[in-house]
Amino acid sequence: MESLLHLMEDEKILRAERLDVLRRVGQSAKNPAYVVGGFVRDLLLRKPVSDFDIVSEGDAIAFARSLAKQYGGQVTAHANFGTAKWFLNENSFVDFITARSEIYTHNAALPTVKFASLSEDILRRDFTINTLAIRLDGNHFGEVRDDINGQADIKKGIVRVLHSNSFLDDPTRIYRAVRYEQRYGFKIDVETAELIPEAIRLIEKLSAQRIRHELDLILDEPNAHLMIARLADLNLLKSIHPALSNEFASISILNQKIINFADLQIAIDNLNDIGVSMPRRDFLWLLWLMPLSADSLKSLNTRLSFTANLMKLLLSGSELLKKANQLSGLSPSKCVQFLDTFHLESVAIVYLLNQDAQIKNKLYTYLHSWRHIKANITGVDLKARGVPAGPKYNEILWKIRAAWLDGIVNDKTQEANLLMELLEIKL
């Protein structure tokens, strides 16, 4: 039987310490045990692999606990699903799964699970490229099992479902098909693609959590822009919500017309350097959806249930995109007064999106310097001078800050003189 041990021993693909974990699993297994799915797929593609799922034809929970007892670590288990996580340390874990089959009682439903053989476990999987398994136990370590001829489809670069009801059983598989296709430069098999239109009607039955999870995974990919464009071509965006129409997709940020996504990490790093930090995924949600109107975003939120913080930033950015031209001709202090009403992350994204040189320069200057310029005088100083607490504090401090921004005040002496003028007027 064919062995993939030579690939598993290539440290450019699999680190030695992770291979050692697989060897321990194999040496301790009392029942047939396999590493399955994406690990084997990426191994064959010579891509670095680290995470893996262990499928056991015996009790996976008992197996994980026996390994923890022998080698240390902690185990968390879900008895109803026959799954467990073996935590070797705080940064490393292995998933254990009891081989199982799945039954879909109706289209787009979550499956009913029952324990089964590896043969049945393989048949529940989404695409042929994810059906390969490598055996670990006994003298079988490294042997590849390919029941569905997945290696051939990997070599051909084809994403193919296992049966004609696959997308009807689980419409989220359509989004995964696009993700794999664009990640690896593959093509969705012709017959598989012909199954998509019938399943599109079921997308509306998917919960917000299930569909947003698939979109989150897409935005985590380096080729997210290609995946979004492909989804639009297949009518898989507007099927989620009318706001994600093909027209919107053609003008949205993820088609590379506004920002080169090859430089995306550079853009994120540059923003981090000036103190604007956000998760990469949120960054991409903002780049993608901020061109939508507030009403469209609110409607889309009813379908996808964004986090409160992401929704806040989307609405802020959407408003600023429409109003950014108001910055034209404004003094630095007026620009700051205007931009301070928006969330900083939204200002940063609008800076990336804006194509007007004058406005872009003002957004840049705000992000890099203007927002940091403050009065040296504080509320404590005002109190010491007998200014009564209340709105006067903010009014005086803002006028001093504005004077710094507009170049009226350039040193502490001028600032002190301005304060005296303001106090004579105010007191």
Could you report the per-residue pLDDT of 144-159, keeping only the tens digit for each?
Answer: 999 999 999 999 999 9
Pair 403, 312 in one domain: no
Last residue of a domain, one of 117, 137, 156: 156
- Is residue 38 in a domain? yes
Q: Give the Å distances, CA to CA, from 144 to 6, 322, 378.
A: 12, 56, 71
14, with CB counted inside 10 A (0-12, 13-18, 19+), is: buried
DSSP string, 8-57: HT-TTTB-HHHHHHHHHHHHH-SS-EEEETHHHHHHHTT--B---EEEES
> Average of pLDDT values for 371-381?
89
Pair 151, 234 in one domain: no
Amino acid at 265: Q
- Is residue 408 in a domain? yes
**CA neighbours closer than 13 Å in the CB half-sphere of residue 184:** 25
Identify the weakest region by mean pLDDT among 58-67, 225-234, 301-310, 332-341. Answer: 225-234
> Average of pLDDT values for 70-76?
93
> Average of pLDDT values for 263-276?
78
**Statement: residue 262 has pLDDT above 60:** no
Last residue of a domain, one of 136, 156, 176: 156
Pair 119, 19 in one domain: yes
- Is residue 109 in a domain? yes
Q: What was the pLDDT predicted at 102?
A: 67
Q: What pLDDT digit, counting tens, does each position of 157-174 carry?
A: 999 999 999 999 999 999
Quote the CA–CA distance of 310 and 1 in Å, as a whole number: 51
- Is residue 29 in a domain? yes
Average pLDDT of the chain, as a whole number: 89
Identify the weakest region by mean pLDDT among 18-27, 176-185, 217-226. Answer: 217-226
- Is residue 79 in a domain? yes
Q: What was the pLDDT predicted at 255?
A: 41
> Average of pLDDT values for 342-355?
89
**Statement: residue 89 has pLDDT above 90:** no
Pair 322, 390 in one domain: no
Pair 355, 419 in one domain: no
Tokens of 250: 């053609």
Identify the weakest region by mean pLDDT among 107-116, 288-297, 324-333, 394-403. Answer: 107-116
Q: What was the pLDDT predicted at 253?
A: 47
Nearest residue to 317 (alpha-carbon basis) of 285, 350, 341, 272 = 350
Nearest residue to 23 (alpha-carbon basis) of 143, 135, 136 = 136
Pair 146, 57 in one domain: yes
Pair 49, 128 in one domain: yes
Strand 83-89 relative to strand 33-36: parallel, antiparallel, unpaired?
A: unpaired
The pLDDT confidence band at residue 101, using thresholds 50, 70 and 90, is: low
- Is residue 170 in a domain? no
Domain count, the chain: 3
- Residue 22 belongs to a domain with what CATH number? 3.30.460.10
Pair 367, 383 in one domain: no
Q: What was the pLDDT predicted at 164?
A: 94
Contacts of 283-287 with CB under 8 Å at 24 or more apart are 283/349, 284/219, 284/224, 284/254, 285/219, 285/310, 285/314, 286/310, 286/313, 286/314, 286/317, 286/345, 286/346, 286/349, 287/253, 287/254, 287/259, 287/349, 287/352, 287/353
The pLDDT confidence band at residue 308, using thresholds 50, 70 and 90, is: very high
> Average of pLDDT values for 65-69?
94
**Statement: residue 261 has pLDDT above 60:** no
Pair 89, 11 in one domain: yes
Q: What was the pLDDT predicted at 313?
A: 96
CB 353 within 8 A of CB 385: no
Tokens of 27: 């040496």
Q: Which residue has the tokens 């705000």?
A: 366
CB 276 within 8 A of CB 297: no
Last residue of a domain, one of 135, 156, 177: 156
Does the pTM exceed 0.95? no
Q: What pLDDT digit, counting tens, does each position of 106-150 carry?
A: 676 666 666 778 888 899 899 999 999 999 999 999 999 999 999
Tokens of 294: 């507030």
**Statement: residue 257 has pLDDT above 60:** no
Contacts of 245-251 with CB under 8 Å at 24 or more apart are 248/291, 248/292, 251/291
Q: What was the pLDDT predicted at 258?
A: 43
> Average of pLDDT values for 209-219?
95
Pair 367, 385 in one domain: no
Calculate what percentage of the chain has a pLDDT beyond 90. 63
Pair 352, 415 in one domain: no
In which element (H, E) is residue 110 found?
none
> Average of pLDDT values for 92-118?
75
- Is residue 413 in a domain? yes
- Is residue 171 in a domain? no
**CA neighbours closer than 13 Å in the CB half-sphere of residue 156:** 14
Domain that holds residue 26: 5-156
Pair 250, 360 in one domain: yes
**Statement: residue 426 has pLDDT above 50:** yes
